[in-house]
Structure 1
Amino acid sequence: MVMSARDNVVSLYRRRGYEAVPVGFSLCPSLEEEYRRRGGTGWYGDGFGFAVHGIWEQPGRSGVFEQQRWFPGESFKPGTVFDAWGVGHEPGSEAAHHMTRMLHPLGSAMGLGDLDAYPFPDWDAEPSDDLRRTVAERHARGVAVSGGMECTIWETARYLRGMDRLAADFAEDPDFATALLDRITERSARRARAYAAAGCDIICLGDDIGTQSRLMMSPATYRRWLKPRLRRVIDAAKAVNPGIVIQYHSCGHVTGLVRDLIEAGVEVLNPVQPESMDFAQLHREFAADLSFNGTIGTQSVMPFGTPEQVKAEVHRVLAIAGPRGGLFPCPTHLLEPEVPWANIEAYVEACRSWGG
């Protein structure tokens, strides 16, 4: 039987076997330009035959965002943009390429009154007609659909507040930290429910809780502040569609919290940075309960390896995963300007040539 790309991905994530290795990656702006220079048209995911298409539902807002109230007396470089949460993204120098400096609108907030006044974005728990239509259109093409909502709780909170201030709040003003996290969690739960109700196959949650070599916080801190809230978001989606696949992103080293993520309801871990974690070890310990997305290093083999080394790495991790699946091998992060185009082609060829 020939599976659709959609059914193949879901079967792979459920560790029920698969017929083809899916491909997927994200290109930085300069590599998107390279794709077009080489004759590519439209979205590169269509050009490379991606099996999963991501969608992002845009929110409304609970009030008017007034820059001068939340950034009093500040001026911004040309090109600065403010996202749905009101977080500013200010462009850097030419050497920074697409990287931006983040501006925290709640960095000077003094209490719960400021939270009450802040115009948080709002998502409806019921999907919009446009969202339902988009999912149905992608399904008609035979591809899986993932609802994007990374920066689910912790990262959004620290982008709003600033990491140093939020860490201090955990110790010095737990009421403020609780109120901020709860406001974000409530909105994320509604957003997850809407994605599930619209028919998404996968929800991509995530918060960076690891650094390059260790956890960003103690397990006790994670279990107090974030784990129960993540469970609440996942439960909201599963209440609508128990079969939806829950993927979770965290950069860096998170080995010490993988079991907690599984207990919270995570079913697929991304990106499994090989520079920070050993996929073979993770697979031995957790493959009965967890699938994986990533493992192809964007700090190592993708920018600095040869095409032959890229192919060998893809085949190595697929061999670890075995015939049941449980691994969608793909670059761990955005592919940056230094990645040779030949290595992108080698990754795609390695996936398509794998025969187990």
Structure 2
Amino acid sequence: MNKRDNLISLYRRQGYSDVPVEFNLCPSLYETFKERTGRTDYAEYFGFSSRTVDDLRLPDVDTEKFRSYYDYELLPGTTFDVWGVAYEPGSEASKHMTRMRHPLANIDSLSRLEEYPFPDYSMASGEHQKKQVEDIHAMGLAAVGGMECTIWETSWYMRSMEELMMDMMMEDEKAEYLLDRVTEAACIRGTTAYARSGVDIIKLGDDIGMQKTIMMSKEMYRTWLKPRLKKVIDAIRKEKQDVIIIYHSCGYVKPFINDLIDAGIDVLNPVQPECMDFKEIHEEFGNRLSFNGTIGTQTIMPFGTPEEIRDTVYKNLEIAGDKGGLCCTPTHMLEPEVPWENILAYVDACKSFRK
């Protein structure tokens, strides 16, 4: 099997020949990688099994139009995404240390929300994607479409978590309108973009767990988010039935797993060991679900020894069993505290594991 076939077979729990390697580096660790290796592409250097396909390309977006939605002065160097969410500058070493600002936080009526300049993905171009998929497949690798922050996170990034939570609790029509607009865009991105271009895997996700508990009640999740996630997945599968759906949510999400399976996901990421026990989760759901993650980026990757990392990789792969069902990876981006030696230890453990 080539790397693509091996990864797909692993996720389908049909056996595997090699343990895939996968991780993301923060800016400072990327600089360390370049200094240590003299290379610029760590996915190629470490032999990753997949590559990500670019998203749909929107027509030129004038992000300055969003500035009027902020009734305060933003810091110099602030950038906007296509949804109008503002990111004030923070640490250059760590990708996540920016301050997010919410353009719809002070919207007080549905009519004002309807006037907001949402990105129009129906006008976006996906001509580049099919060629990218063909090139990735020609290398024997799996093609991946990235659509994390699928519904909930994109929505609260715009409205603010506090305001959107209150809208949902009060069954406010603003919540329904906003979530529907974001869901509509996700359906277009998943079908017009990724499914039709022939990707093997699509990554969806919204953080719905916290460190020790869930972020909202199961009733609220089933009312507001589960039907919309299912709508996105159904649209994708209508275009490409055999695509593998990976769903990302940090934190403790065990109470939601049956709902996620019902919605149509194939793989759960990242199964944070600081929040959930992989053996317990695998015993309960492993016959219906595969997994990606399990190597803690809050604990063992920054603060463990190379030996502890190796032992944890081996243990989790043994829990998953000979048929696979686990792409054993760090649970999130590797941040500046992670020693270079621990990254090498993770890679070595994956490459040296024998079933």
TM-score over 0.5 (shorter chain)? yes
| Counterpart amino acid of residue 139 in structure 2 | R
CA contact under 8 A between 2:51 and 2:143: conserved in structure 1?
yes
Q: Tell me how far apart the structure 2 counterparts of residues 158 and 188 of structure 1 sit (CA, whole Å).
A: 15
Matches within 5 A, 1:181-260: 181-193=179-191, 194-260=193-259
- SS of corresponding position for 2:148: coil
- Residue 354 (structure 2) pairs with residue 355 (structure 1): yes
CA drift at 1:52:
1.4
CA drift at 1:61:
6.0
Matches within 5 A, 1:10-89: 10-60=8-58, 65=63, 66-72=65-71, 74-89=72-87
TM-score, normalising length from structure 2? 0.96
2:177 to 172, 176, 179: 179
Question: 1:301-353: CA deviations, max 9, x gaps?
Answer: 10011001000000000000000000000000000001010110000000001
| Counterpart amino acid of residue 331 in structure 1 | P
Give the superposed CA RMSD: 1.7
Change (3 A) 1:295 1:169: same
Change (3 A) 1:62 1:19: same
| Counterpart amino acid of residue 162 in structure 1 | S
Name the residue aligned to 1:141. 139
| Counterpart amino acid of residue 178 in structure 1 | E
Change (3 A) 1:27 1:270: same
Change (3 A) 1:127 1:353: farther
Question: 1:247-305: CA deviations, max 9, x gaps?
Answer: 00000000000000000001100000000001001110101110000000001110011
Matches within 5 A, 1:123-138: 123-124=121-122, 128-138=126-136
Q: Tell me how far apart the structure 2 counterparts of residues 61 and 116 of structure 1 sit (CA, whole Å).
A: 21
Unaligned ranges ≥5, structure 1? none
CA drift at 1:97:
6.9
CA drift at 1:125:
9.2
Change (3 A) 1:61 1:103: farther
- SS of corresponding position for 1:269: strand
Change (3 A) 1:218 1:173: closer
Count of residue pairs the alignment pairs up:
353
CA contact under 8 A between 1:153 and 1:184: conserved in structure 2?
yes
Change (3 A) 1:142 1:126: farther
- SS of corresponding position for 2:322: coil
- SS of corresponding position for 1:149: strand
Question: 1:175-230: CA deviations, max 9, x gaps?
Answer: 11000000000000111112011011000000000000000000000000000000
Name the residue aligned to 1:316. 315
CA drift at 1:94:
7.0
CA drift at 1:111:
1.8
| Counterpart amino acid of residue 245 in structure 2 | I
Q: Tell me how far apart the structure 1 counterparts of residues 171 and 321 of structure 2 sit (CA, whole Å).
A: 48
CA contact under 8 A between 2:24 and 2:333: conserved in structure 1?
yes
Structure 1 outlier segments of 4+, above 3 Å: 61-65, 93-98, 124-127
- SS of corresponding position for 1:292: strand
1:113 to 101, 111, 114: 111
CA drift at 1:128:
1.7
Name the residue aligned to 2:88. 90
- SS of corresponding position for 1:108: coil
- SS of corresponding position for 2:265: coil
Deviates more, 1:173-182 or 1:284-293: 173-182
Deviates more, 1:181-190 or 1:166-175: 166-175
CA contact under 8 A between 2:27 and 2:93: conserved in structure 1?
no
Name the residue aligned to 1:164. 162
TM-score, normalising length from structure 1? 0.95
Name the residue aligned to 2:272. 273
CA contact under 8 A between 2:200 and 2:243: conserved in structure 1?
yes
- SS of corresponding position for 1:32: helix
State, as a whole percentage, how many aligned pairs show the same letter. Answer: 52
- Residue 134 (structure 2) pairs with residue 103 (structure 1): no
Unaligned ranges ≥5, structure 2? none
CA contact under 8 A between 2:57 and 2:125: conserved in structure 1?
no
